[in-house]
Amino acid sequence: MTTALNAPIPSFDALTATSGTTVSSETLKGQFSVLYFYPKDSTPGCTTESQDFTRLFDEFQALNCQIFGVSRDSVKSHENFKAKHDMPFELISDPDENLCTVFDVMKLKNMYGKQVRGVERSTFLINPDGVLTAEWRKVSVPGHAEAVLETLKAQG
């Protein structure tokens, strides 16, 4: 089951995240949530995107919004990535692609002339009732975190 715009997100079991936390569909209720899916820790685009969300974190928090980064990397990789860039939010490890499947972000991509299956950079805004209210797919990093913040301001 995948997520549809303006519909409740499907329930998903707890996934391991950084700082010894777990995140489930229940974790996302009660406040706005941003889930941003990215291909790989410590790569240039993913680093820039994470730094942009870090820079704007206080503004998201002021609007009652939590942020979670999601990739297939291990928790250990996430911990290193998070520490290196002083990220104030948690990163969810999804090695079995459970959450990636719920949000339909696994896509065939061209890498050096070969087709590979990977995470399509995507972001989802979920309201306090657990309803998906905005989505961005095939994200281009420059200005993206700002666009998500502006959408949140319009909804909040």
Asked if residue 10 belongs to a domain, the reply is no
Predicted confidence (pLDDT) per residue in 66-101, tens digit = 999 999 999 999 999 999 999 999 999 999 999 999
Question: Taking residues 112-136, what's their average pLDDT?
Answer: 93
Catalytic site includes residue 100 = no
Predicted confidence (pLDDT) per residue in 19-35, tens digit = 999 999 999 999 999 99
Enumerate the H helices of the chain as residue ranges: 44-55, 57-62, 75-84, 98-102, 144-155
Asked if residue 2 belongs to a domain, the reply is no
Looking at 46, 87, 100, 102, which residue is catalytic? 46
Asked if residue 6 belongs to a domain, the reply is no
DSSP secondary-structure letter at 31?
Answer: S
> CA-CA distance, 116 to 48, in Å (whole number)?
23
Asked if residue 50 belongs to a domain, the reply is yes
pLDDT at 54 over 80: yes
Its domain, for residue 95, covers 15-155
Asked if residue 5 belongs to a domain, the reply is no
Number of domains in the chain: 1
Asked if residue 1 belongs to a domain, the reply is no
Provide the CATH number for the domain around residue 105: 3.40.30.10
pTM score, two decimals? 0.94
DSSP secondary-structure letter at 18?
Answer: G
pLDDT of residue 16: 96
State which amino acid sits at residue 51.
Q
Asked if residue 72 belongs to a domain, the reply is yes
pLDDT at 115 over 90: no
Asked if residue 108 belongs to a domain, the reply is yes
